Amino acid sequence: MSDSNQNNDGSGRKFLGIKFECCGTYARVYLNEKMQAYMGACPRCCKRVKILVDKEKATTDKRFFVAK
């Protein structure tokens, strides 16, 4: 992923958009300080998600995902 394709919230914090199927809600999950994973939770039931970042492997330009 190139930095030009990363979404940020205006403050420079990188995030992914996640639709949580558990509650039909949407939330942003943010890249942690070590830049190793995007981490967040469903805003209703607090189901946690962690999306690991591996710069050595194949990447995607997708910025929105579904958590089942």
**DSSP letter, residue 10:** S
CA proximity to 62, closest of 17, 29, 27: 17
Q: At 5, is the secondary structure helix, strand, or coil?
A: helix
Per-residue pLDDT of the chain (68 residues; tens, 9 = 90+): 444 445 666 778 899 999 999 999 999 999 999 999 999 999 999 999 999 998 788 778 889 999 99
Which pLDDT value is given to residue 6? 52
CA proximity to 29, closest of 58, 53, 5: 53
CA proximity to 53, closest of 10, 12, 4, 15: 15
Which pLDDT value is given to residue 67? 94
Domain boundaries, the chain: 3-67
Which pLDDT value is given to residue 5? 45
Which pLDDT value is given to residue 3? 46
